[in-house]
Structure 1
Amino acid sequence: MINNLSTSYAITHRGAVRQLNEDAHVEINSHNLWVVADGMGGHEAGDIASQLVVDVIKGRIKEFAVDELCVSHIKEAIKDANKQLNEFSAQHLGSKTAGSTVIALFLKNNTYNILWVGDSRAYMLRDNVLNQISRDHSQVNDLIDEGVITKDEADGHPLSNVITRAVGVTDEIDIDVVQDTVEAGDIFLLCSDGLTGELSDEDIRLSLEPNSIIDSGMALMHSSLVRGARDNVTCILVRYEQECDKETLRALNIQDEATIPLFSK
């Protein structure tokens, strides 16, 4: 079995305005899986919702060996998080809504897999060209599809923060998946909308130019903070390096990385 060998870097901040960080993330490097979740602003217990989502996913994924793990397992983990979040709301919030977005990257067998619900995003930089892989589940995107507004008119639209799908909002959840071939040197960015609310795609591309994903992550965070960071900001950068066999992977002793929030207060 061939396994992907990648490096990752995660960074999070509550932003310049919010008093609480309602984003959550996890790097499960041993299984080539990275996840960002964003608790829904204006709803009850957004921080609990996002943390529950990543905790449930991590717990379910750890039940499988890396060779066994597949996209269907990740989808089932997200569905389980949806069920548990609905149960939490019913038991502790009087059935008020505790919701969260989720976006995940899974690398296996020369393939990248992006799974998502909501408007947290996944980008890929290849040959210095940045592409948004995910598509926001939002009212603004629906309006664009219907021809009501243009892409240019979507920026700053009053419905820009209204999402049409989230974990923990309905009994059943529809998870979108995109799969394609990965190439050595590809850089993936998973982020909450606190980043994309402050930076354009070109701003993001320029921040990803440094060879070090740590430098790129610091640049993304710095840029969002100096522009006001009105929301929580979280991003995970993943660089796909190469393939290696299982024995090499074991010898490298790749461990899950605990990420410390930058500028934590």
Structure 2
Amino acid sequence: MQFRISSFSDKGARANQEDAFIAEIISGNTVLAMVADGVGGHNKGEFASDCIKENLLAIKDLLVTTDDACTEIEKIYRSTSEQIIRRGSEDAEYFDAGTTATTLYFHNNSYYLVHCGDTRAYLFRNKKVDLLTEDHTIVQDLLNNGEISEEYAHKHPERHMLTSVIGLDWFTFRVDTAGPLPAKAGDVFLLTSDGVHDVLSERALLEIMNENSRNTNLAQLICDTAIINNTRDNVTAVVITIL
């Protein structure tokens, strides 16, 4: 596989940047990409999202040699959660630090997905969009149970309340994994923090992708569009195009 990668992050309407991301070609046919959104406020969210970023980068060479990338990445999610919780027990200032994280790993014509929280992964294929992740939020649970409509979910007052996060030991820790799954020439994968997908619907993202497929700065275009649409959060996007 050959890749074209575009990445961009901006603090948007926030005073500080709590998002972190990875967009790295490890070798000719291997890519590691991740978007994380820290929670806890001040420097605590930054600490947590940076932890998952640095810990994933530390195993990038190991991933190339393993037959089970999802398991290795999930181990990092779990050990990072323990690391953040331990920091909170040692320093009360960090007791509510945590982070979401959605990771895509590409190797030998396949992709692997590991996910916790409400960052998202999308696949754009054949002019259509497929959401690859499910938000770990109260509102998503209500949707799954048929208790609210899709329309109301977008304006629900608790739409940002997480049910799973890396760190924060009072949450039920949940990690979703998928793969290996086939990646094909022409596929475009997108990772976003909620500052992007809160204000840009799947239809809006699909329009951007279809109208700007040759744009080498797609990630910045997506983030800039989210800012124009009055997002209230940090914005981060990573776009991986299979050539």
TM superposition score normalised by structure 2: 0.90
Moved more, 18-27 or 207-216: 207-216
Change (3 A) 1:37 1:65: closer
Q: Which runs of 5+ in 2 are unaligned?
A: none
Instruction: Establish whether residue 11 from structure 1 lines up as the match of residue 8 from structure 2.
Output: yes
The residue number in structure 1 matching 2:66 is 68
The structural deviation recorded for 1:29 is 1.4
SS at match of 1:153: helix
TM superposition score normalised by structure 1: 0.83
SS at match of 2:233: coil
Larger Rg over CA atoms: 1
The residue number in structure 2 matching 1:174 is 174
Letter in 1 for 2:201: S
The structural deviation recorded for 1:43 is 7.7
In structure 2, C-alpha distance between the alignment counterparts of 1:12 and 1:65, rounded to whole Å: 25
SS at match of 2:237: strand
The structural deviation recorded for 1:94 is 5.2
The structural deviation recorded for 1:26 is 1.3
In structure 2, C-alpha distance between the alignment counterparts of 1:213 and 1:191, rounded to whole Å: 18
Change (3 A) 1:135 1:65: closer
In structure 2, C-alpha distance between the alignment counterparts of 1:147 and 1:61, rounded to whole Å: 40
Moved more, 164-173 or 110-119: 164-173
- Whether contact under 8 Å (1:23, 1:192) holds in the other structure is yes
Q: Which of the numbers 12, 20, 23 marks the counterpart of 2:19?
A: 23
Q: Which of the numbers 219, 234, 237 marks the counterpart of 1:235?
A: 237
Q: Which of the numbers 197, 213, 216 marks the counterpart of 1:214?
A: 216
The residue number in structure 2 matching 1:261 is none
SS at match of 2:59: helix
Change (3 A) 1:56 1:29: same
The residue number in structure 1 matching 2:101 is 102
Q: Which runs of 4+ in 1 moved over 3 A?
A: 41-44
The residue number in structure 2 matching 1:205 is 206
The structural deviation recorded for 1:213 is 4.9
In structure 2, C-alpha distance between the alignment counterparts of 1:139 and 1:43, rounded to whole Å: 24
The structural deviation recorded for 1:111 is 2.1
In structure 1, C-alpha distance between the alignment counterparts of 2:122 and 2:14, rounded to whole Å: 25
SS at match of 2:48: helix
- Whether contact under 8 Å (1:44, 1:96) holds in the other structure is no
- Whether contact under 8 Å (2:187, 2:241) holds in the other structure is yes
- Whether contact under 8 Å (1:46, 1:100) holds in the other structure is yes
